[in-house]
């Protein structure tokens, strides 16, 4: 069966452009009888509706949700746990299912990290927090809350920071997303 676009095209070629049934059949690689049926309206567009087959993951979805609630997001670990309870599908199906769930988890972890940095601004000045963040960015491509907190605890931000030569600086495109103390609520405290 052909779709509604083919029906419209056949009617357009016949009624507007004035082409014959034989010309339309040759152009669209259809039989003349099929073109006649479309022009008479004997054929309706193909609207097949089929039943969706269930996924191999369907019996395991509750277990997957429980593992994610426990904080387990790794597809390999989840796959191993599902195999233990009888899952016989492939890991790629599981990875496709987990992809949107993992992005939600990343947002949640990022939110927690931001809240942690904001709590540091309650204990330390904005200038110290900014210096600690810069130090963490110099040390890693992807600085973490823990790195910034450790720098503040060890008071490494108070020591004069070495000025890196242009050749020693990591390329700026390789670093993660960074925001300073002003973004995370800094600026409320004076220099300590």
Q: What is the pLDDT of residues 4-17, one digit of tens each?
A: 678 888 888 888 88
Domain count, the chain: 3
Among 19-33, 44-58, 114-128, top mean pLDDT goes to 19-33
Confidence (pLDDT) at 46: 59
- The C-alpha R_g of the chain, in whole angstroms, comes to 31
Residue 35 contacts residue 15 (beta carbons within 8 Å): no
Tell me the percentage of the chain whose pLDDT exceeds 90.
Answer: 6
| Domain annotation covers residue 145 | yes
33 and 66 in a common domain: no
Distance of CA 187 to the CA centre of its chain: 33
Confidence (pLDDT) at 80: 92
* Mean pLDDT within 54-80: 86
| Domain annotation covers residue 84 | yes
Question: Residue 22 — pLDDT band, cuts 50, 70, 90?
Answer: very high
Distances in Å between the Cα of 43 and the Cα atoms of 7, 10, 46, 130 are 9, 12, 9, 71
Residue 38 contacts residue 44 (beta carbons within 8 Å): no
Confidence (pLDDT) at 192: 45
Confidence (pLDDT) at 84: 92
| Domain annotation covers residue 138 | yes
| Domain annotation covers residue 75 | yes
93 and 62 in a common domain: yes
Cα 144 to Cα 30: distance, rounded to the nearest angstrom: 64
Distances in Å between the Cα of 167 and the Cα atoms of 39, 66, 161, 184 are 73, 49, 17, 30
64 and 27 in a common domain: no
| Domain annotation covers residue 117 | no
User: Tokens 């796959």 appear where?
Assistant: 79
Confidence (pLDDT) at 27: 87
102 and 63 in a common domain: yes
Is the pLDDT at 165 greater than 70? The verdict is no
129 and 91 in a common domain: no
| Domain annotation covers residue 174 | no
Confidence (pLDDT) at 186: 55
Is the pLDDT at 24 greater than 70? The verdict is yes
133 and 99 in a common domain: no
Is the pLDDT at 191 greater than 60? The verdict is no
Instruction: Determine which of 47-51, 170-174, 182-186 has the lowest per-residue pLDDT on average.
Output: 170-174
98 and 70 in a common domain: yes
| Domain annotation covers residue 190 | no
Residue 144 contacts residue 113 (beta carbons within 8 Å): yes
| Domain annotation covers residue 88 | yes
62 and 104 in a common domain: yes
67 and 33 in a common domain: no
Range of the domain at 15: 4-40
* Mean pLDDT within 159-174: 56
């Amino acid at each position: 069966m052909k779709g509604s676009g083919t029906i419209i095209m056949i009617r357009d070629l016949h009624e507007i452009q004035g082409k014959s049934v034989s010309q339309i059949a040759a152009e669209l690689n259809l039989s003349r009888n099929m073109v006649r049926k479309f022009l008479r309206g004997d054929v309706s567009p193909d609207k097949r509706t089929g039943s969706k087959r269930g996924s191999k993951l369907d019996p395991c979805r509750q277990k997957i949700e429980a593992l994610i609630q426990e904080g387990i997001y790794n597809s390999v670990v989840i796959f191993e746990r599902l195999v233990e309870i009888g899952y016989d599908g492939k890991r790629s199906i599981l990875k496709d299912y987990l992809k949107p769930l993992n992005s939600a988890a990343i947002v949640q972890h990022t939110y927690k990290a931001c809240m942690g940095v904001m709590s540091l601004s309650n204990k330390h000045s904005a200038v110290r927090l900014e210096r600690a963040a810069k130090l963490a960015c110099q040390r890693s491509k992807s600085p973490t809350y823990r790195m910034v907190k450790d720098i503040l605890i060890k008071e490494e931000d108070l020591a004069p920071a070495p000025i890196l030569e242009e050749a020693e600086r990591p390329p700026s495109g390789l670093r993660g997303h960074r925001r300073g103390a002003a973004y995370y609520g800094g600026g409320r405290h004076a220099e300590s």
